[in-house]
Structure 1
Amino acid sequence: MISAENLSKKFGRKEVLKDINFCIQKGETVGVVGPNGAGKSTLLKIIATIMRGTNGSVQIDEMDTKKDTKKIREKIGYVPQEIAVYHELTARENLRFFAKLAKNSPEENWVRRCEEWKLAEHLDKKVKHLSGGNQRKLNILIALLHDPEILILDEPTVGIDISAKQEIVNDLRQLGSEGKTILYSSHDAQELETLCTSFLILKEGELLFYGSKQKVRQFGSVAQSKNFAETLGEIVG
């Protein structure tokens, strides 16, 4: 469903991504993992058609992200690390505004989703008065307004408490069970282990590993006795 072939990205002389190749299947929840500066955000932005690679290609459902950008964007919901909403508006006003841009997004649909995500009681509060967790939920729900097949999330739980993280991870697991393909970047190994079915591991712009969660433990010289967090830590170094 999502494939990269010899994908690279340069900013000036600095090569941020180096000949990346992978093929993600429909319905996978993929943890995009690596230390700071590994190229995670750059890769997610290229897949989301926000940025273009320097060389190589990315295809989604056999459509090229450079040539078929408009059609691909209809399939994608992108959640940036920054909270990209209007803080002086209420949550409901934000959802109504972005629903008009998304089109074909009936209010009853997103109200139901807000109820499922425990945000309904906060809909008429200004965003600036919401907790960090509820702001993060709103950020994700806006990306879901057009019911995308693919959801791309760049560290969507950064800076919030553990209980709010758990709620969001559980909500995302439900989306995965509905058949959505999810790309999820995080530094939280527990989140990644709970949510993801496979992993794409980057380091210094290179793809170290792509495969199932079960195969992560078998990668390289990682000892079988280590827990998952230690395993990921040893791989990304």
Structure 2
Amino acid sequence: MNRFILSISMHKSKKCFCEKYGHDWFDNFRKLSFRYFDDIVPNIPNIGESVFSMNYKFAPIYIAWYKALEQLKLEPSEIDKEIWLLNENFMKIFPQFLLKMSGKIYVDSFRSKAARHIERQKQGKLHLYDWKISFRNINDNCFEIDIIECAFKKLSKDFNVPQLLPGICRMDYLMANLMGNGFTRSKTLGDGDDCCNCSYSKIGYCEWSPEKGFVERK
């Protein structure tokens, strides 16, 4: 599945990358991305059962993209923007109604699995690379989580891409925007804060607009 996501994302972004950087550049980017991906995947720990399993599947893709774009001499701020674009182009292959439905399912699924995740966390049964959280159910539409430990932060250190965060953290705004969820946050581990204080709404609105920056809404 991971390689399929990588392949489709590259295909859907080919035109805009070729227009911006040229065909040779894109061919190099594609080759480097797959080369890094194939090297990374065998070394990604299997965290097993987790409420964050879907998020975790994207880790080797993000790392491969970052390494490839870094090798092609893009600045960190530009790398963040190109990874956002790759994600957005992949997500937009799905019809809007399906994205909205998936957004509702994701929030309900997370809510139903959170208690089990925290119980396993208390029992010390989570994988070392799994996320550690606290969870607060607000009402039928909203819940909050504080992320205390993040797999992406650990993997970024392992694979020597420390600047992967906080750019990857901002992806939550893109995903919430496309999937019709409400989402707010003012702290992230990637920005050096003590936690990621996330608030989700099953039905809501989240502005993407990276051109406005990510100061208050980290």
Which has a greater percent of strand? 1
Q: TM-score, normalised by structure 2?
A: 0.34
TM-score, normalised relative to structure 1: 0.32
Q: Which has the higher contact order (CA 8 A, sep 6+)?
A: 1
